[in-house]
Structure 1
Amino acid sequence: MAGTTRGESIVVLIDRVAQWLDSLTATVLPTVAVTHPAVIRAAILVALGAPPESFWRLDIAPLSRTVMHFRGHAWTLRSN
C-alpha cells in the first residue's frame, strides 16, 4: 500500500495512530489533537475497525473538525 507524504506506509501510520488512541482510553481527560488529515483518516479507520484499503475513501478537509469519544469499550465519531 502506498505511503504517506512522509514516506511512512499507511499501515504503519494506522498502527501508530491505533497505539496512540489506545493510550487515550485510560484517561478521562479531554484531548485535543491538531493534525494532518492523514492522521484523522487513520484514527477513523481504527475507530470503525475498517481495513487500510479504506484509507483513501475518506475525504478529510483541511481545517475541519472531527470529534471522537471513547465510551466504555468503543470509539464514537461526530462529524461537524
Structure 2
Amino acid sequence: MENMANTQYFKVSNNAEITVKDILEAVYIALTEKGYNPVSQIVGYIMSGDPTYVTSYKNARYLIMKVERDELLEELLKSYIDVNLK
C-alpha cells in the first residue's frame, strides 16, 4: 500500500482543446445567425469586457469568455497581418 501521507497527482489530458480561432469562428457564426453585426459586437466585447455584447445563442457568450480579451485581439491582429501584410 502506498504512503497515504504523500499527495497523489491526477492529471487529465485534454487533447480536444479549442483554439482562439475556433472560438472566434463559432461566435461569428452565432452572431450572424442571430442577425447581429459580428464585427461590431466582437469589438464591443473586446473594448468593454461586457459579455452581453455576445449572444448566448449556441453558447457563444460562454465560449468567448473562455479566453482573455488580449488573446482575442492577438489572434485577430495575427490574422490581419498574415493576410494583408505578408
The structure with the largest alpha-carbon Rg is: 2
More helix by share: 2
More strand by share: 1
Task: Please indicate, yes or no, whether the TM-score normalized by the shorter chain is above 0.5.
Answer: no
